[in-house]
Chains A and B, each alone.
Chain A
Amino acid sequence: MAKIKIGKIEILRAVTVLLVVIFFLAAPFFGFAYGTNCALTFGSFVLISPLELLLMVLGTQTALMSWLIPSILVILIIVLFGRFFCGWVCPVGMLLEYSHAFTETKKMKGIGSLHSNWDRYALILAILLASLLFNFAAPYLFSPPGAVYRATLYFMLRGLIGVDLAVIAFFFVMDVLAIHYGRTWCSTICPLGTVISSLSIINLVSPKVDKKACVDFDFNCLNCERLCPMHVPILRANRWAMTECNKCLKCWEGCPVKAIKIRAFG
């Protein structure tokens, strides 16, 4: 059986995701917090996901302070720290990554893609149009982490399995595909991911290659790009490509000459 290499940061990430999941599932029983990643309420204090905010604003053609204020904190964190949610919080993404780990023993075939991913913007546009014109907000039904949390909580509280079962079956299929294709959903389709990367303007924590220390200018190494689960072309990247980075730090860990520095950590 092939060995699976798991770095220290990966373990830290897995533990963090697990703690977040436990928090979401345990908090209602202690009356501390209720909700899923779509919207979370602590009683007087509320957090709303930016994708849900966008859909509500478009669907009702209004913008209420009672929605904007809970979203601002979330948006601020995303502006500063980018797609860290995808790497350190989303349980679905973590599951896809671990499924992919089975094929990661050989060097990954693919490297980062310079091709801009306009397709997912087409998708998000279609979703936003559907919400604006037809009051039909598809992500409410298909948001991956939302469906997983909701289905788990529903089963724990009522012993019932709702329509999310169909969604979860869909993600199971996606997971089987992830064995070969990794986090393709995350980097190419996920509407929540699209919104988050569009907001990662400042993106404090992102890897930068020290060109002097890097041994590869002839495309002989490219370990960083091979390891990146989001298919980010780290070596050749510009600012916009780096908005995809989910801060998993695999490139940083896996560079044989430690040529990668994390911007914001000096």
Chain B
Amino acid sequence: MRVTRREFLRLLAEGAVALGFLRISSLVPSGSLTEVVRPPGSVEEEFFNTLCVRCGVCVEVCPTNAIVFADYMDGVEAANTPKINPIIGPCEFYRGRCDTEMKCGKFCPTGALQLISKNGVKMGTALLNQGICLAYLGKECVVCDELCPVPDAITLDEQKRPHFHSDNCVGCGICVHYCPAQPKALTLSSTGARRVRWPR
């Protein structure tokens, strides 16, 4: 039994080092094709996956259930780190749900999520699929414009169709969550996301 244990251990040790080498040689994907959409106040991705100890506190405290754990498709290194899934819940920090301090940043024990002001929030941007959008199909719907908390992120044209301005969009995902089209005409992408520089 001693010999088996030793061999097993050696195998594990070599595996850990090998995985590290494989990672830098890009054979094992270290990240997904696009970065995950992270909660507001996240530090740069380079440090995020080390600072985040996968304690799950942010998942527990988010009042809108917006935060979920990333899976292997988001990269082995990012597995079990927090990401925003707007279909389960939008991030309503910008809208005022968490008062002045976002719950995720307030309770994060290691500093992977920092406290930032509303003005600094840019989790990504919403992308519209005009082929599915009800307004572009001639139906009466402007729910995204009704509920968007940012003044000029969505504008309506004369035919009451929405146009998205990604420069103003904070990436909260409220429009994605409430879009009544099936399948949803909106997705939340990490494009343009602003992260906190680390160390502070």
Contacts and interface: CB of A to CB of B under 8 A. Distances in A.
User: Do A and B belong to a common assembly?
Assistant: yes
Interface of A: 28, 34-36, 38-41, 43, 46, 48-49, 52, 55-56, 59-60, 62, 64, 66-67, 70, 110, 113, 115, 119-120, 122-123, 125-127, 129-131, 133-138, 140-141, 146, 149-150, 153-154, 157-158, 160, 162-164, 181, 184, 188-189
A198 to B, nearest CB: 16
Nearest to B7: A119
A110 B1 contact: yes
A129 B21 CA distance: 11
B88 to A, nearest CB: 7
9 contacts: A34-B57, A43-B107, A48-B109, A59-B47, A64-B199, A136-B23, A137-B49, A138-B19, A163-B80
Given A34-B61, A129-B17, A134-B23, 6 more contacts: A35-B109, A39-B53, A39-B55, A115-B2, A130-B16, A188-B5
Nearest to A141: B79
B55 A126 contact: no
A131 B21 CA distance: 12
A98 B88 CA distance: 38
A64 B47 CA distance: 14
A126 B109 contact: no
Contacts of B71: 162-163
A70 B109 contact: yes
Interface residues of B, number: 47
Main secondary structure, interface of A, reads: helix
B191 interface: no
Contact of B16 (A43, A70, A123, A140): A123
A163 B72 CA distance: 7
Contact of B50 (A40, A55, A160, A163): A55
A-B interface, 6 closest residue pairs, ranked by CB to CB distance from nearest: A59-B50, A134-B20, A119-B9, A39-B55, A130-B20, A39-B109
